[in-house]
Chains A and B, each alone.
Chain A
Amino acid sequence: MESLARLGRFGLNNLASLGRSGMILFQAIVARPQPLTMFPLLVQQIYFVGVLSLIIIVVSGLFIGMVLGLQGYTILVDYGSEQAVGQMVALSLVRELAPVVTALLFAGRAGSALTAEIGLMKATEQLSSLEMIGVDPLRRIIAPRFWAGFICLPILAAIFSIVGIYGGALVSIEWLGIYDGSFWANMQNSVDFADDIVNGLIKSVVFGFVVTWIAVFQGYDCIPTSEGISQATTKTVVYASLAVLGLDFILTAVMFGEI
C-alpha cells in the first residue's frame, strides 16, 4: 500500500515536471518571440554552446573514425572485401555514431554547463532580479540558450561525421594501404543523400531539441542551493543521455527498420 502510494506520487511528480517543462518551453520559445533583442544574445550563446564544444567534437570524431577504419578493415579483410571499408565508416558515422555520440558529448559538455549556469543565476537571485526589472527571464535567458543548442547540435554532428570520415580515410589509406580511389568511390556509391544524410540530420535535430530542453529546464527548475544545482546538473546528463539513446532506437526503427 505504502509502495503503491509512493509509486503514485512518483508518477504525479514526474507528470507535473513534464507539464512545467512544457510550459517553460512554450513561454520561452513559442509565445511572443523577439528576434531583434534576441539576436545578439543568440550569437553569444552559439559561441558558448557551439564553438567551445568544437574541440571535443573534432577530437572524438577523429578517433572514432580511426577506430572504425581499423575495426572495419580487420573484419572485412577476412572476406576479401576490405575495399568496402570507406562505405562502412561513412554509413556508421552518418546514420548512427555522429548524431548519437555528438548528442552524448554535447549533453556532458554544453548541457551540464547550461544547467549549472541557469541554476546559479536562480540561486543568486539574478532571475528574480531580471523579473523585478521587468524582463522575462524565460525570454532573455532561456530562449537564446535553447535556440543556440538546437542550432549547434546538428552542425556539430555534421562536423563529427566529416572529421570521422577523414579519420577513417587516414587509417585505411595511409596506414593500411587501401587504394584511395576505391575507398572514396565505394563510399560515394553507397551513401544515399535522402536515406542516410537526411535521416542522420533529422536525428541530430531531434537530439538537439531534447538535450537542450532538458538542460535549460533542469537549470530553471532546480532547487536554488549548491546541492540543488549539482543534482540538477547530474539529472541533465543522465536524462539527456537516456533520452538520446531511447529516441535513437525509436528513430532508427522508423527510418531504417521498414516498419
Chain B
Amino acid sequence: MSHFEDVIIDIQQLSFSRSDRPIYNNVDIKIPRGKITAIMGPSGTGKTTLLKLIGGQLNPDSGKIYLDGQNIPTLNRRELFVIRERMGMLFQSGALFTDMSVFENVAFPLRVHTKLPEDMIRDIVLMKLEAVGLRGASELMPSELSGGMARRVALARAIALDPDIVMYDEPFTGQDPIAMGVLVNLIRRLNESLGHTSIIVSHDIQETLGIADYIYLVADSSVIAHGTPEELKEVNSPQVRQFMEGLPDGPVPFHFPAVDYHDDLLQRGV
C-alpha cells in the first residue's frame, strides 16, 4: 500500500512486546505527510505504545520506524533531541508539569529549544493559549484546571514549537460538547493552515471519522484494517464492523470470561 504520494513516517515490520506479551507483531504503518491519520482500536491494544515508539521513548524488538528517512530506534540522544523538536505530543492525561503555571508549561518547550527573547515567548504562548481558548487561565496552576482544560493547555504546549508532526493521544476524552467541537476544528485548522501531519489516537468514532483522512484499526497486535473513512465503512469483516458500530458482542469480546449470567444471578438467591 504505497499509494500515498508522500509518506512522512514509515513503519516497517514493527514488533514490540512487554514482558513476553506481544503488543505489535510485524506491523506496517505509513503516515501520509500533511494529513490527519487516526489510529483506532480497543483499549489496551497498544495505541499509546505506538506513539511512544514513534517518539523514540521505547525501542522496538525489531523493525524500522523511518521519519523522513531517519530510522528512529537507531538514533542517539542528541539526534533524538533534534528530531523531537519536530514532534509535539499530547499525552492522554495532559501531563502538565505540576510545579509550573499554565503559562510556564506552554513556554517550556520554547525555553528549551529556542533562545527567543522573553517578550516573544510571551506573545507565542498567549497566541497558543488563545487558540485553545484558555488565554485567561495563563496564571493558573495545573491543579486548578479541570481534566478537559488541562488537556487543552497540553495541546497548546504540544504545538508551541510549531512541530511538523502532532500526535494526539485520546484528545476528545473528557471534553464537553463545546470544547469537543473547538478541538475538532482546531486540529483540522492546524492541519490545513500549517500543514501539520497529525496522528490521532481515539475511541470517539464519530469525531474521528469526521476529521481523519486515513484510519488504521489495530487489534490483536496487528493492523486489522486500514483505509479512508469511506473505505472502512464498506469493510465487511465482523471485527471491523463491531468496532465501527460500537457493538458489545462480536469477535472482540466486551465481557471478561465468566460463568453463565443467569446461573450466576440465580445462585445468589439460594
- Which residues on A are within 8 Å of B, measured CB to CB? 121, 124-126, 128-136
Contact = CB atoms under 8 A, between A and B. Distances in A.
Task: Assign chain B's interface to a size class.
Answer: 20 to 34
A132 B93 contact: no
A126 B157 CA distance: 13
A124 B55 CA distance: 17
Given A133-B108, A134-B85, A124 B93 contact: yes
Interface string B80-115: 110011011101111111100000000011001100
A129 B84 CA distance: 11
B112 A131 contact: no
Given A129-B89, A129-B91, 20 more contacts: A124-B93, A124-B94, A124-B95, A125-B93, A125-B95, A126-B95, A126-B96, A128-B52, A128-B91, A128-B95, A129-B95, A131-B57, A132-B55, A132-B84, A132-B88, A132-B89, A133-B112, A134-B85, A134-B109, A134-B113
B255 interface: no
Given A124-B98, A128-B52, A136 B77 contact: yes
A134 B112 contact: yes
28 contacts: A124-B94, A124-B95, A125-B91, A125-B92, A125-B93, A125-B95, A126-B96, A126-B97, A126-B98, A128-B57, A128-B91, A128-B95, A129-B89, A129-B95, A129-B97, A130-B97, A131-B57, A131-B84, A132-B55, A132-B57, A132-B84, A132-B89, A133-B108, A133-B109, A134-B80, A134-B81, A134-B109, A134-B112
A68 to B, nearest CB: 40
Contacts of B98: 121, 124, 126
A128 B89 CA distance: 10
A130 to B, nearest CB: 8
- Give the dominant DSSP class at A's interface: helix
Contacts of A124: 93-95, 98
Contacts of B55: 131-132
B98 to A, nearest CB: 7
Nearest to A132: B89
Nearest to B91: A125
Contacts of A131: 55, 57, 84
Interface in B56-89: 57, 77, 80-81, 84-85, 87-89
A228 to B, nearest CB: 14
A98 B84 CA distance: 48
Nearest to A121: B98
